[in-house]
Structure 1
């Protein structure tokens, strides 16, 4: 894989994660984004035998889009603090099966991660270890397809960063993501690889040293089924 670099300076590097690549090492042992970024830095800075790479955020393996990595420990610390304080802006494109009742909505739920099967589920507020999950979406476009019926393109603003949050919340709202074999019943029995139609399109952060606000964009326009929609 040729690493697509969206931005790089001495403190951070922003790249485009392709679908199917893990954000970090997992049980499959497949090559991950941390490794790709590390290899890129070793080539660019051959004197540095082991360049520093800090994982700031994660995207689920089937999800593509913009990711930021820290190149120094101080950048890692400050960007991680922004994540904890919900100061990093994340906007996604998502293609769902069906049509939302409202063109704009805010979803507020409480999620519980189930470690044994790597799933999350929506539970009541008073459930032990439950975490609040908030997202906002706008309907951008709908179209009818012969294979999967009506699909809708959403712009999703993530307010919190929970395990499988967008996937779980939209599924609970009867708007499961296209291609999601875990939370969309239409795809649950599909054995071959399917990209989830979810893409991290915009990432906004404060630079860890200059304090300037930076926004980075990544487009899924060459990836099916995003290719079906004119507003991508």
Structure 2
């Protein structure tokens, strides 16, 4: 499915943000499916009549079954500066996650050490540092309960692979649909109930505050949480 104007959340001469659909891959992988970065390149090339193609830099990634806000750089300067912003944690990332088990505390901080098995593409969390592990932390807050589902706002302070998924599972609250990390069944649509909701940062070139917001998917489930 091609990118359209409706998918674009923010765009200027330096950056472009897209509301990613669950199931899209950000960069090419072994599946051979067209990745999101290529779709965005085609969108820019068509919109601005660039037959030779357009530059696009991948600033960060979202797992394939995750929906929501993803940011790309349209220039190499913006890419370098956004990479530094993410590396230095000068950005606030907000996610929505839906779980079936109510957290023991309505809000809190999770600290774990993660190890990824690249062959199985699975991450394991430990409550103490082990050889080869990476430190990670996030803050969460319970926003509401609807029909036996609990909506959490999650702010990851680090950016590790599968971090939110494995940390919530390690807390005893696997994300709905995420059978890789403990939810009893997967989604037929290949999605999990994790959505990248918002990014806040200082623009790498304009030096102005930027806040980008991504609406929830219209899939018959997420809509009930949109007001939050």
Could you tell me the TM-score, scaled by structure 2's length? 0.93
Please say if 1:15 is aligned against 2:11: no
Please say if 1:215 is aligned against 2:211: yes
Residue 168 of structure 1 is matched in structure 2 by 166
Q: Distance in 2 between matches of 1:46 and 1:108?
A: 47
Please say if 1:202 is aligned against 2:198: yes
Aligned length: 225
SS in 2 for 1:186: coil
Residue 155 of structure 2 is matched in structure 1 by 157
| Change beyond 3 A, Cα 1:30–1:226 | same
Please say if 1:78 is aligned against 2:74: no
How far does residue 224 in structure 1 lie from its aligned partner after superposition? 4.1
Q: Distance in 2 between matches of 1:191 and 1:59?
A: 17
Are the equivalent residues in 1 in contact too, given 2:136–2:158 (CA < 8 A)? yes
SS in 2 for 1:83: helix
Q: Distance in 1 between matches of 2:183 and 2:218?
A: 26
How far does residue 142 in structure 1 lie from its aligned partner after superposition? 1.2
Task: Give CA deviations for 1:134-167 in whole Å, capped at 9, x if unaligned.
Answer: 11111111133xxxxx321001111110010000
Could you tell me the TM-score, scaled by structure 1's length? 0.91
Task: Give CA deviations for 1:24-67 in whole Å, capped at 9, x if unaligned.
Answer: 11111111110111001110222451211000010000111111
Residue 147 of structure 1 is matched in structure 2 by none
Q: Distance in 1 between matches of 2:127 and 2:106?
A: 26
| Change beyond 3 A, Cα 1:129–1:212 | same
SS in 1 for 2:184: helix
Unaligned runs of 5+ in 1: 145-149
Q: Distance in 2 between matches of 1:231 and 1:72?
A: 35
Please say if 1:138 is aligned against 2:134: no
Q: CA RMSD in A?
A: 1.6
The counterpart of 1:62, out of the listed 59, 65, 90, is 65
Residue 175 of structure 2 is matched in structure 1 by 177
Following superposition of structure 1 onto structure 2, how do residues 44-55 of structure 1 map, counting pairs within 5 Å? 44-47=47-50, 49-55=52-58
Are the equivalent residues in 2 in contact too, given 1:178–1:184 (CA < 8 A)? no
Are the equivalent residues in 1 in contact too, given 2:96–2:153 (CA < 8 A)? yes
Q: Distance in 2 between matches of 1:154 and 1:101?
A: 13
